[in-house]
Amino acid sequence: QVQLVESGGGLVQPGGSLRLSCVSSGSIFSSGSFYTMAWYRQAPGKQRELVASVTPTNRLYYADSVKGRFTISRDNAKNTVDLRMNSLKPEDTAVYYCNAQIGSTNYWGQGTQVTVSP
């Protein structure tokens, strides 16, 4: 079974920066190199949305709302995927979830709260 553990959430002022990390374990593979990993977020009253993703070959995707401000990266040796967030806005406030797609199955972390407030 794949397990994902997120960390790095917290309270930050508008314009600030934050780094989220996700550690994956329990896969049949030794690292996350063979599957796509992503960050999603869900704000109160809104649907969960894809923020950024990275494929095994490091093909990147960013939502328009975060492009130029957020950076997703993976370290296969350490089984981690990070989301570096810059120039944070109040509308970035949400619970952020790490996601791994293995075959037809999606695995999710527990979520970490990011709050952007003056």
pLDDT, tens digit, for every residue of 77-90? Answer: 788 899 999 999 99
Kindly state the average pLDDT of the residues 28-42. 77
What are 72's two structure tokens? 């997703």
Rounded to a whole number of angstroms, the CA Rg of the chain reads 14
At 111, is the pLDDT very low, low, confident or very high (cuts 50, 70, 90)? very high
92 three-class SS: helix
| More reliable by pLDDT, 30 or 106 | 106
pLDDT (mean) for 34-40:
90
d(CA 81, CA 13) in angstroms, rounded, equals: 24
